[in-house]
Structure 1
Amino acid sequence: MDQLGEIMTTSGFYLGGGTALALLLDHRHSVDLDWFHPKDFDPRQITERIQDAGIGLTILRTEEGTLHGLLSGVRVSLLRYRYPLLRPLVMWSQYRCHLAALEDLVCMKLVAITQRGAKKDFIDIYALGQGTLTLAEMLRLYQRKFDTQDIAQVLYALGYFADADPEDMPRLYLNTDWRTIKRTLESWVREIR
């Protein structure tokens, strides 16, 4: 990650998604790397740069503005992400890379919940709500980032656990369980409605 982090940062990418959030909050184990770039990029060019550094990235799929691969069994995605950042990037010196700020990560997670509803995404929102941000604050950030007032789909998704229920529980560094997480999220949604 040290070498990859530096290459990604000097190439204009920043780490987002669950791993960035896990680095900042230390609430769960995360095993994938989602790198975002604000502009179009050439997947072949960044692949060459990574491989020239001796990093054994196996390419699984590329298309315009997207690269998916594996690095030592870890899923790596490079994605064009056109939405402006709400806050400046955070420098994570241990891995010499930039991370999205919490305010931007929460917005990414709310979108992820509306699109796929994975257990890890609900856990991430729960962890953010434990003294970092209220759900109301998270929703205001979402509205600002995506320039929308419509949060109905987000509120619905925050209470829909059917897809997440059968998934394995990620390794947590929080003293909680899935049932508590679901009840807490449902309570937060009721407060908003």
Structure 2
Amino acid sequence: MFTKFLDTSRIEVWKRLVEFKDVGILAGGTALSMQINHRISYDFDVFTDKPIDDRFLLKLKKIFWEYEVEPMVDTGDELTVMLSGNVKLSFVYFPFVKLEKAVETDSLDLFSINDLLANKAYALGRRKTWRDYVDIYWALKNNLIDLKKLITITEQKFDGVFSTKLFLEQLVYFSDVAEIEVDWTGEKVENEDIKKYLFDEVTNYLK
């Protein structure tokens, strides 16, 4: 598991998250980066299989007692806080089953690579971000998965709420997403190269 991309403050938060091991699983770009070491990720997204109850924020403040805990979102589906103005931590209600066994660590378990990629494919039709495109690109480009399998496992995981047609459309539609600079751990990839690669992948898939 790769953690060198985490700075000192995030390493401390990561260690403290072991207190939530029975609550959720680490998802998002940080969980993916810990397994494939492709880019630097700064936030912690923890997916839970139960709604966020009213006492959750209190528990969070007790565990991070020496931090300034600033709530940003506090609903039954999501609790997002900023820890001491530096580290963003989210707990998100996610009522979908795992495709594969979670990856065990000394802190939170991680979603498997396939689960993480399926989550990102599903997200493209909802609250997509440029990082979702980046992560899917990197996985396809480096043969972690091919587009056909990505669609297959996403359909399996999100049966009835995932549209392959919408996913393919979104995978080549970039006008409604804010592009950001990616902090790669290796050789830099230009955003335009990512777009072209994804366009070619979809074109070849539809032939």
Task: Please report how far the alpha carbon of residue 55 of structure 1 lies from its aligned counterpart in structure 2 after TM superposition.
Answer: 5.0
- Structure 1 residue 83 corresponds to structure 2 residue 96: yes
Task: Please report how far the alpha carbon of residue 116 of structure 1 lies from its aligned counterpart in structure 2 after TM superposition.
Answer: 3.8
Number of residue pairs the alignment of both structures matches: 188
The correspondence for 1:36, drawn from 35, 38, 47, is 47
Name the aligned partner's letter for residue 142 of structure 1.
T
- Structure 1 residue 27 corresponds to structure 2 residue 29: no
Name the aligned partner's letter for residue 46 of structure 1.
F
The correspondence for 2:195, drawn from 150, 160, 182, is 182
Name the aligned partner's letter for residue 81 of structure 1.
F
**Contact 2:120–2:132 under 8 Å retained in 1:** yes
- Structure 1 residue 4 corresponds to structure 2 residue 4: no
In structure 2, C-alpha distance between the alignment counterparts of 1:23 and 1:33, rounded to whole Å: 12
Name the aligned partner's letter for residue 63 of structure 1.
T
- Structure 1 residue 60 corresponds to structure 2 residue 72: yes
State the SS of the aligned residue for 2:109. Answer: strand
State the SS of the aligned residue for 2:16. Answer: helix
Greater displacement, 27-36 / 150-159: 27-36
Task: Please report how far the alpha carbon of residue 127 of structure 1 lies from its aligned counterpart in structure 2 after TM superposition.
Answer: 1.3
**Contact 1:33–1:76 under 8 Å retained in 2:** yes
**Contact 1:31–1:74 under 8 Å retained in 2:** yes
The correspondence for 2:114, drawn from 87, 103, 108, is 103
Name the aligned partner's letter for residue 122 of structure 1.
Y
Name the aligned partner's letter for residue 17 of structure 2.
G
Alpha carbons of structure 1 residues 117 and 52: separation in structure 2 relative to 1, 3 Å: closer
The correspondence for 1:48, drawn from 35, 58, 68, is 58
Task: Please report how far the alpha carbon of residue 68 of structure 1 lies from its aligned counterpart in structure 2 after TM superposition.
Answer: 1.4
Name the aligned partner's letter for residue 35 of structure 1.
V
Q: Which residue in the other structure is 2:3 paired with? A: none
TM-score normalized with structure 2 length:
0.83
Name the aligned partner's letter for residue 201 of structure 2.
W
Q: Give deviations 1:58-104, integer Å, cap 9, x for gaps.
A: 222311132111113222211110011111111133xx111111111
**Contact 1:136–1:192 under 8 Å retained in 2:** yes
**Contact 2:137–2:194 under 8 Å retained in 1:** yes
Q: Tell me, which stretches of 5 or more residues in structure 2 are unaligned?
A: 1-12
In structure 2, C-alpha distance between the alignment counterparts of 1:87 and 1:98, rounded to whole Å: 12
Identity among equivalent positions (%) equals: 24
Task: Please report how far the alpha carbon of residue 30 of structure 1 lies from its aligned counterpart in structure 2 after TM superposition.
Answer: 1.2
TM-score normalized with structure 1 length:
0.89
In structure 1, C-alpha distance between the alignment counterparts of 2:163 and 2:72, rounded to whole Å: 36
**Contact 2:52–2:75 under 8 Å retained in 1:** no
Task: Please report how far the alpha carbon of residue 17 of structure 1 lies from its aligned counterpart in structure 2 after TM superposition.
Answer: 1.2
Alpha carbons of structure 1 residues 167 and 150: separation in structure 2 relative to 1, 3 Å: closer
Q: Which residue in the other structure is 2:179 paired with? A: 167
**Contact 1:111–1:154 under 8 Å retained in 2:** yes
In structure 2, C-alpha distance between the alignment counterparts of 1:76 and 1:90, rounded to whole Å: 20
